[in-house]
Amino acid sequence: MKKAGAPYLLFLGDVQDELSIKGCTGVTIWRPEKAHAQIRLEGGTQDLGLPNMAPAEAAAAGCQTMLVGVANAGGFVPEAWVPTIIAALEAGLDVMAGMHKRMADIPEIAAAAAANGRTLFDVRQPSQDFKVGKGYKRAGKRVLTVGTDCSLGKMFTSLALEKEMLAQGLKATFRATGQSGIFIVGEGVAVDGVVADFIAGSVEWLCPENEPDHWDVVEGQGSLFHPSFAGVSLGLLHGAQPDALIMCHEPGRPHMRGIPGRALPSLEECIEANERAAHLTNPAARVVGISVNTSAMAEDEALAYLEETGRRLGMPCCDSIRTGVGPVVEELAKI
């Protein structure tokens, strides 16, 4: 896919809760230089603290893309948003969104994009054709975030790793595999939207061979232990062909996400299963660090948990926000 141009005009729609605009929030946290301006509709109450600009004004100020980083219940584009999307296209902006329903399937939007020579990035639906994965060894190094469950910080950890690796002088590139990650860097593959035959192949495409000392930091998805999504996680693991894995975890979850009654696996079990599965395409793959989301814990409790877990598993154990991922990156630097 073509890369979405920056900076962005962040479209906040008419929503009133913070969670719904997290597609925009991720950009302000991880790529603040891309977050140039915001636009709200009548009734919207969210505010990222950016200048409010109409599409034409944003285009004149240098914006390249309007990001519709807003979630709604049905996953469709509400009618109230359409005029602003069309205005953005007419102002010369590309438009990026991640709804279930594609913008390109809405005739007025498709027509406005065509008439103005603009690109619609419907990032949830991979647009290109992939080949099947082959698993042949390729140059460059790759680290993949994996997890005991879904939605516990794999994207956040991956972005923190990239930032810290660059700070420590390593060559590193974050590779997005979900819509929020794609919004942040402007490109990637929403792996869970790929046709099943091409899961591994799409990831081989996403992180192709590279310089021997370059690291791709590949964002993981799901969990080998999640009964809904393990197939995605396994294909991603094989396609990424990682040299190193970082295990992500959130203590205290009552059950696997979306599956009441199903307990999370232990870290030990999850490490063993991921290493074993990874060996199919990289026999040297191993888990070199743990990233724990301790946001629900008090400081003392969190630090004790990190210390105890790291000692028990014999590897650095961090929280990407509370402590940073420095020690994990030091392990990567040895590979």
Number of chain positions touching a copy of itself (CB under 8 A): 34
Closest to a copy of itself by CB, 32 vs 258, is 258
* Per CB under 8 A, 230 contacts a copy of itself: yes
* Per CB under 8 A, 178 contacts a copy of itself: no
If DSSP codes are grouped into helix, strand and coil, which group holds residue 137? coil
Give the footprint of a copy of itself on residues 12-31 (CB under 8 A).
none
d(CA 287, CA 271): 7
Binding segment for a copy of itself (CB under 8 A), chosen from 45-53, 193-201, 244-252, 308-316, is: 193-201
* Per CB under 8 A, 225 contacts a copy of itself: yes
**Residue type at 119 in one-letter notation:** T
* Per CB under 8 A, 140 contacts a copy of itself: no
d(CA 110, CA 92): 14
* Per CB under 8 A, 267 contacts a copy of itself: no
Closest to a copy of itself by CB, 186 vs 201, is 201
Closest to a copy of itself by CB, 60 vs 132, is 132
Burial degree of 314 (CB within 10 A; 0-12, 13-18, 19+): exposed
Q: Are 1 and 26 in contact (CB under 8 A)?
A: no
Q: Are 270 and 247 in contact (CB under 8 A)?
A: yes
Binding segment for a copy of itself (CB under 8 A), chosen from 33-41, 139-147, 224-232, 300-308, is: 224-232
The encoded tokens of residue 29 equal 């946290």
Binding segment for a copy of itself (CB under 8 A), chosen from 14-22, 68-76, 164-172, 234-242, is: 234-242
d(CA 220, CA 125): 18
The encoded tokens of residue 9 equal 């005009």
Q: Smallest distance from the beta carbon of 177 to a copy of itself, in angstroms?
A: 11
* Per CB under 8 A, 132 contacts a copy of itself: yes
Closest to a copy of itself by CB, 259 vs 335, is 259
Q: Are 313 and 268 in contact (CB under 8 A)?
A: yes
Q: Smallest distance from the beta carbon of 284 to a copy of itself, in angstroms?
A: 16
* Per CB under 8 A, 285 contacts a copy of itself: no
d(CA 229, CA 220): 12
Number of alpha carbons in the 13 Å side-chain half-sphere of residue 51: 10
Q: Are 247 and 255 in contact (CB under 8 A)?
A: no
Closest to a copy of itself by CB, 111 vs 263, is 263
Q: Smallest distance from the beta carbon of 254 to a copy of itself, in angstroms?
A: 16
Closest to a copy of itself by CB, 24 vs 232, is 232
What is the DSSP pairing of strand 171-175 with strand 120-122? unpaired
Binding segment for a copy of itself (CB under 8 A), chosen from 49-57, 67-75, 225-233, 316-324, is: 225-233
Which of 184, 177, 226, 233 shows the shortest CA–CA distance to 202? 177
Binding site for a copy of itself (CB under 8 A): 132-136, 191-197, 199-201, 225, 227-236, 238, 258-259, 261-262, 277, 280-281
